[in-house]
Structures are given as C-alpha cells and as structure tokens.
Amino acid sequence: MEDRGLSPPEPLTFQPINLTVKNLSNQENVKATVAVDLKDDSGGKFEIMGEVGIKPLAARGNLAVAGLKTPRLWRYIRDQVNVEIAGGRLELGGAYDVSVVDQVFQVTVTDGNLKLNNFKVAEKGHANPLILLPSFSVAGAAFDLNRRRITIQSVTSRDALFQSWLTKEGTFSLISLLSPQQSADVQKSAIVAAVPSGLAD
C-alpha cells in the first residue's frame, strides 16, 4: 500500500498481519473479542487486544507499540520544520475505552506509557544533535476526551542533552528551528503587506 499522507506518496508495508475475531454479532450488548498484531517494514510491532460491540457501538482493550523507528514519524513534518529526527525507537501502550453514548463520542485512555530510546534531533544537514535523549519515559498517563483532561504520574529522563544558542534576533536557535516553517506563498504575502500601497507589483 501507499502512504498518501506523504508527498510524494511512499510505500508502506505491513508484514505479517495477524487478525482474530470471535463472536462478532449485531445483537444488542454482544461483544466480540478482537486480536490484531502486525509489523511494519522498519521493525515496528503493533498489537491490539480487546472487545468490540456493535449495539451499542463500543470498543475497549489494550494497545501496544514496540520498536517503532522515530525517523519514520518525522517524514510527516519534514517540510514544516528545520530539523530532522536522526534516530530513536519508540514504545508506547495503554488501555483504551471508546464508545458512543447519546450520540456523544467518548474516549478514555488509562495506564498509558511511553518510552524513547536513543532519540536524536539534529538540524537538517548537520550531524551534531540538538536534542539527545538516551532514555526517556512517561508512565501512568491518562486521557479523557470529554473532560479534556490529561494526567501523568511520572516523567523520567537520563543523560539528556539540549543544545541551543542565542541568535542575532535575540531568540534561542532551538525554538526557531522547531517552529513551523512558513510556505513561500505566506512569506510573499507578508512581504507584499509590508510594502506601501502602489509599490507592490
């Protein structure tokens, strides 16, 4: 398959893909058990185990991602920032509960965890890291969409490195590099707007 979230689209391969569904029914209050596990072409592994109901529409279970190469995620923002994710592996997991109650979409996540190993961010075209996280983890995270609430029990980092310098404009370089880039059309519009009327052709 192709990942059309990228421009130009790039191949996206998952192999093997294993899916097991038991007791699937459209009867009211009957829940099917679902198990999905698959691997992408970078070695990342995705697992979902849980229950799915059709009447009412609901799903709950556990999600786990392991060994996902973080440079793969950078591709989605590579044209918007002046940095690149040069290395790292991501693990995350948690328990999810999704339902529709009185036509209101509800999502909660509990026992969330995230780990980054050897995560490195560098300026485009440069080898020296601006951000280096040999070991970073988040534990005990929870999310409630309806209450708009996020809680985190702990954040742990070891031997982290953040490198930045003061630019001539008086801002930290890291902030500038991480800020979204303006497109050429937006930059042109800003220049034209700054020119007195009658002089912008």
Residues 198 and 133 both lie in one domain = no
Residues 112 and 24 both lie in one domain = yes
Residues 84 and 106 both lie in one domain = yes
Q: What is the pLDDT of residues 48-86, one digit of tens each?
A: 999 999 989 999 999 999 999 988 877 777 777 778 888
Domain count, the chain: 2
| pLDDT value for 197 | 47
Q: What is the pLDDT of residues 122-138, one digit of tens each?
A: 888 888 888 999 999 99
| pLDDT value for 8 | 64
Residues 67 and 152 both lie in one domain = yes
Residues 120 and 90 both lie in one domain = yes
Please, what's the b/e burial string for 58-76 (b: 16 or more CB within 10 A of its CB; e: otherwise)?
bbebebebbebbbbbebee
Residues 46 and 107 both lie in one domain = yes
- Tell me how far CA of residue 161 lies from CA of 119, 155, 174, 177, 185, in angstroms: 10, 16, 12, 16, 36
Residues 65 and 100 both lie in one domain = yes
Q: Quote the domain boundaries for residue 172.
A: 164-201
| pLDDT value for 135 | 96
**In contact, 20 and 35? CB cutoff 8 Å:** yes
- Which two structure tokens, joined as six digits, stand for 139? 């534990």
Residues 23 and 51 both lie in one domain = yes
Distance, CA of 60 to CA of 50 (rounded, Å): 6
Residues 194 and 115 both lie in one domain = no
Residues 32 and 114 both lie in one domain = yes
Q: What share of the chain is helix, strand, coil (3-state, %, to 5)?
A: 10, 55, 35
Residue 78: count other Cβ atoms within 10 Å of its Cβ.
13
DSSP state of 178: H
Whether residue 9 has pLDDT greater than 70: no
Residues 71 and 89 both lie in one domain = yes
